[in-house]
Structure 1
Amino acid sequence: MAGCNGVSDADWLSASFNHGWTYSQRIAAVDAGRGLVELLAVHYTHSSRDVWQQRLQAGQIRLNGELVRLDQLLASGDQVCWQRPPWLEAAVPASWEVIFDDGDLLVVNKPSGLPVIPGGGFLDHTLTGLLQRRCQLDGESRLPRPVHRLGRFTSGLLICARQRETRAKLSAMFRRATAGDQGCKKIYRALAHRNLNVHCDEVATIRIPIVQTAHPMVGKVWVAADSSRQHDSKRSESRVLTALSTVRLLERRQDADLLEVAIQTGRPHQIRIHLAAIGSPLIGDPLYGFDGQISSAATPGDGGYCLHAHRLLDVPYRNRLHGFTACSPRRLQMKTER
């Protein structure tokens, strides 16, 4: 079990190869007649057209179970499968603090650096994978599954549930909260660049919608809608999401501000985007910089910043509203808390 100040060296899962994975997609009518390589390059922009062509030539991609030609055209209903060979997964923290566990609901304090679910180069080295291993070792048949998400490098509170009914109810509640409807209250700690327009104990409200814009490494990323440094021609205005955050300055330091951020909506990378938009990007954020500027050399999954899901309030469970608090990493603690 990890404490507030992080994870010891002994509590890490070493880098290792997984067993590979098969990704599949059913071809929709709108994509009928397109070339296979063209479709893969457009839909899965993490790899270039040349890379997809190399994978096809290596026999990793099959159409309806069969090897395919480079000039293969697609038909509606075709099944495309990419048999990805085993790859090396990076080392990750492998322990966490249990905040609450009654046999159904499990609330943990997730360490920074541990992905919650597969994605972004991770398959087995995830919280869900580690939970599954522990259940197998303990002879437990019911696997706790997350009911919401935290980014890999965001530490703090994550709620899981073993019973399907509990997961369904809590997942629906988190979806409502994501859209800004009534739901639980989510309060974070963040270490950001100093903003002299924010004063101690004052609450600043940020109402800035977010939109998607083109990005050379991942295709699209979310940014602040009113970022003057982004070109409108790069945006996908069909996906504009309202977003609301409130920010309170907890402690002014020589080189940074310790902030408490409450989010009334749960948009992708909302806190990182909102703080960058008001001139206080997270310290060490490789993607979102001052005035909403985004880096073309970083992706949303890159780390380096300090963001912690500190409190969850008004979580409905078994006819009661529950509140949970996860001790913050040392850099995100106030002097009076150390």
Structure 2
Amino acid sequence: MQWHYAIRLSSLYQPQSLRELLQRTWLLSRKIVHFLRINERVLVNGKYVPVNTIVQGGDLIELNFESSDFDTPLPPFDPDFTQAPIILYENSDLMVVNKPTGVKTHANQPHELGSMMNFLQAYFKDTENEAYNVHRLDQFTSGALLVAKNPVVVPILNRQISTKVINRTYLCVVSGHLEQSKGTINVPIGFDPDDKRKRQINGLNPLSAITHYQVLAQYENSSLIQVDLETGRTHQIRVHLSYLGHPIIGDPLYNLDNTQQPMLLHSWKIRFPLPFNLETIEVTAPIPDYFNFLTK
């Protein structure tokens, strides 16, 4: 399998070496740049040039990738045709889908069906695309989910996540009223030694976790909160808000007063630069109707 890219640099592009363009701007790894260089699969204006060559606005950069360049394994997900994914944004490299509550991001067992990755594998049937999991949403969290369509952009998107270039904004409804209208929660999260499903503050093998929140509205017994993640730990929003004494309504793990209703946590917006492009886009997932339950 091969992937070909032809990118015309903008007239506003600031000159730099081809190596800097590939590694610093486009976030290709040194290993991939090495393969492109030694096999002469990177061209500038139709010719192979050394990677220390200065490129500038108007230059045409061509990249040719092969499957052997990448360590990313093929997705192990079987296609599931029972549910069509809702596409919020799509180009040749990636897509943002609207994950419903109750649907897993990916299957955990061989030949398991019913996850978003299964539905996307079916969506890609008879194409050369595959569904590559870039990040995950909890099963009962709805909203915007970023998915790669080829192994070229998987490491790029992973680096965008690790360097906090990708910004994710969530909405949730929590129990009660917070003392402060906005703030930052900066406490580590680790494993719960008594329940392998759960995480807890300062649990086993804790990792730093930073959550920024802002109260958007208050209701009789609840509050609508906007949350921006600086880190992306498992169950981070759920654990941090429960730690404040304001668990998310409908949370089956961290809200002792959980009622039989969907968890009111929604991946609302995701903002990121497109690979091989300096354009930053923001994709918004419509707020589910069940969020009106306590806001009327």
Deviations 1:152-190 (A, max 9, x none): 11111111121211122102322x1xxxx4321111001
Counterpart of 2:277, as a letter, is N
Question: Which residue of structure 1 lines up, in the alignment, with residue 103 of structure 2?
Answer: 114
Shift of 1:334: 11
Equivalent of residue 234 in structure 2, options 268, 276, 280:
268
Question: Which residue of structure 2 lines up, in the alignment, with residue 123 of structure 1?
Answer: 112
CA gap of 1:303–1:208, structure 2 versus 1, over 3 A, is farther
Counterpart of 2:169, as a letter, is I
In the alignment, is the contact (CA less than 8 A) between 1:104 and 1:161 conserved in 2? yes
Shift of 1:124: 1.3
Q: What pairs up with 1:76-115 in 2 under 5 angstroms?
A: 94-115=83-104
Question: Which residue of structure 2 lines up, in the alignment, with residue 149 of structure 1?
Answer: 136
CA distance in 2 between partners of 1:211 and 1:279 (Å): 18
Q: What pairs up with 1:18-37 in 2 under 5 angstroms?
A: none
CA gap of 1:250–1:319, structure 2 versus 1, over 3 A, is same
Shift of 1:146: 2.4
CA distance in 1 between partners of 2:95 and 2:272 (Å): 16
CA gap of 1:334–1:247, structure 2 versus 1, over 3 A, is farther
Q: What pairs up with 1:182-221 in 2 under 5 angstroms?
A: 182-198=164-180, 202-216=181-195, 218=196, 221=198
Counterpart of 2:287, as a letter, is S
CA distance in 2 between partners of 1:141 and 1:269 (Å): 34
Counterpart of 1:167, as a letter, is V
CA gap of 1:222–1:324, structure 2 versus 1, over 3 A, is same
CA distance in 2 between partners of 1:333 and 1:303 (Å): 12
For structure 1, the 5+ residue unaligned runs are: 1-91, 226-234, 296-301
- TM-score, with structure 1 as normaliser: 0.57
Shift of 1:121: 10
Counterpart of 2:165, as a letter, is G
In the alignment, is the contact (CA less than 8 A) between 2:178 and 2:246 conserved in 1? no
Question: Which residue of structure 1 lines up, in the alignment, with residue 45 of structure 2?
Answer: none
Shift of 1:102: 1.6
CA gap of 1:259–1:151, structure 2 versus 1, over 3 A, is same
1:326 aligns with 2:271: no
Q: What pairs up with 1:305-320 in 2 under 5 angstroms?
A: 305-320=263-278
CA distance in 2 between partners of 1:215 and 1:152 (Å): 21
In the alignment, is the contact (CA less than 8 A) between 1:191 and 1:306 conserved in 2? yes
1:258 aligns with 2:227: no
2:237 is paired with a residue of what secondary structure? Answer: helix
Runs of 4+ in 1 over 3 A off after TM superposition: 331-336
CA distance in 2 between partners of 1:129 and 1:303 (Å): 25
Shift of 1:323: 1.5
CA distance in 2 between partners of 1:184 and 1:204 (Å): 21
Counterpart of 1:322, as a letter, is I
Deviations 1:50-70 (A, max 9, x none): xxxxxxxxxxxxxxxxxxxxx
CA distance in 1 between partners of 2:292 and 2:87 (Å): 19
Shift of 1:133: 2.0
CA distance in 2 between partners of 1:131 and 1:101 (Å): 12
CA distance in 1 between partners of 2:240 and 2:83 (Å): 31
CA distance in 2 between partners of 1:133 and 1:102 (Å): 17
Question: Which residue of structure 2 lines up, in the alignment, with residue 243 of structure 1?
Answer: 209
For structure 2, the 5+ residue unaligned runs are: 1-80
2:217 is paired with a residue of what secondary structure? Answer: strand
CA gap of 1:255–1:331, structure 2 versus 1, over 3 A, is farther
Question: Which residue of structure 2 lines up, in the alignment, with residue 67 of structure 1?
Answer: none
CA gap of 1:310–1:113, structure 2 versus 1, over 3 A, is same
CA distance in 1 between partners of 2:171 and 2:124 (Å): 31
Kindly, what percent of the aligned residue pairs are identical? Answer: 26
Counterpart of 2:242, as a letter, is A
Deviations 1:277-335 (A, max 9, x none): 00110112122147xx9x9xxxxxx9841111101123342322222111111243699
- TM-score, with structure 2 as normaliser: 0.65
